[in-house]
Amino acid sequence: MVREAVAPFSRLRGEQIRDYLRSMTKLAAFVGRLEGEMSIAAVLAPTSIRAFLRNQPAGVRDEEPYLWRLARAHGTVPMDESVHHQVGRHDLKAPYTTEEIEALLLAAHSQPTELRQLNVLAIVVLGAGAGLVRESSRDVCASDVHRHEDGVFVRARGRCAKVLPAFEAELEELVRRRPKGRLLGTAQSRFITAQAHQWLDDRRGVPRLSVDRLRASYLIDLMRRGHTLVEVMAWSGLKTTDTLWRLASHLPVPSTCPRGHP
Ligand SMILES: [Zn+2]
């Protein structure tokens, strides 16, 4: 069942597919312990995934992005599932939640034309996956995507932006489907974002597209993953720590000392 569930990602390389295998194995074991139904649809149902994530001890590897991708690949995340209630409408620069990002990716993949799919995908993947928005994303091409020892990076405006592992597969797909020219497409970049707004606006359950929120999601994910301040600033091109301080309120606060002190 695990192999079958991961099959839609079989094009990925060893290390990347292992993330999906591990996530799916853990989720299946969790549902199995609860004596739940062991079909793909039941195991990857949003209720199962949420229950599993709630039961994960702090500090273990975050399986969330892989699980929502698997769910999306098998169509177990309903299109009309509303994620609007999670949008902090008062804070237009707040990071998106993982579910909101998944809703945006799902909306990108379900656009009616190839051009629309790739334009929306490029905005979301470059923004939330590499922190590249506005001018920094404008001229990025497939040839700017490359590998360092520790993962995938995108060259943009004199820096190399680390790609969050959870976005590597989406970026790979984008590069494969748009191997020539700018990943964002050929129209003027302001126009591309405005168009994408329109294409997504009438979709239920899809949060409003905001490049500021995409970039905030990238920054917060780097911090959550424990990267150093120097790394975060180098990859994101930030010159001061002001933005990071503002975002710090969105970071989880460790509630207990790992050594058990009160
Ligand atoms: Zn590089």
Please write the tens of the pLDDT for every residue from 66-99.
888 888 888 887 544 434 334 444 467 899 998 8
Q: Is the dihedral of CA 7, 9, 12, 17 positive or negative?
A: negative
Query: What confidence score (pLDDT) does residue 254 get?
Result: 67
Query: What confidence score (pLDDT) does residue 154 get?
Result: 98
Residue ranges in the chain modelled with pLDDT below 50: 79-90
Q: What is the 135 CA–ligand 1 centroid distance (Å)?
A: 19
Neighbours of 121 (CB within 10 A): 25
Q: What is the 147 CA–ligand 1 centroid distance (Å)?
A: 7
The two beta strands, 145-148 and 159-162, are unpaired
Q: What is the 200 CA–ligand 1 centroid distance (Å)?
A: 32
Query: What confidence score (pLDDT) does residue 87 get?
Result: 42
CA distance 139 to 181: 9
Phi first, then psi: what are they for 44, rounded to 5°? Answer: -95, 15
Determine which helix (DSSP H) or strand (DSSP E) holds 65, and give its type and residue range: helix 64-73
Q: What is the 141 CA–ligand 1 centroid distance (Å)?
A: 14
Q: What is the 224 CA–ligand 1 centroid distance (Å)?
A: 22
Query: What confidence score (pLDDT) does residue 182 get?
Result: 95
Query: What confidence score (pLDDT) does residue 84 get?
Result: 39
CA distance 180 to 220: 31
Query: What confidence score (pLDDT) does residue 36 get?
Result: 83
Q: What is the 228 CA–ligand 1 centroid distance (Å)?
A: 18
Contact 99, 77 (CB under 8 A): no
Where do the domains of the chain lie, and which CATH numbers do they carry?
2-73 (no CATH), 92-250 (1.10.443.10)
Query: What confidence score (pLDDT) does residue 189 get?
Result: 67
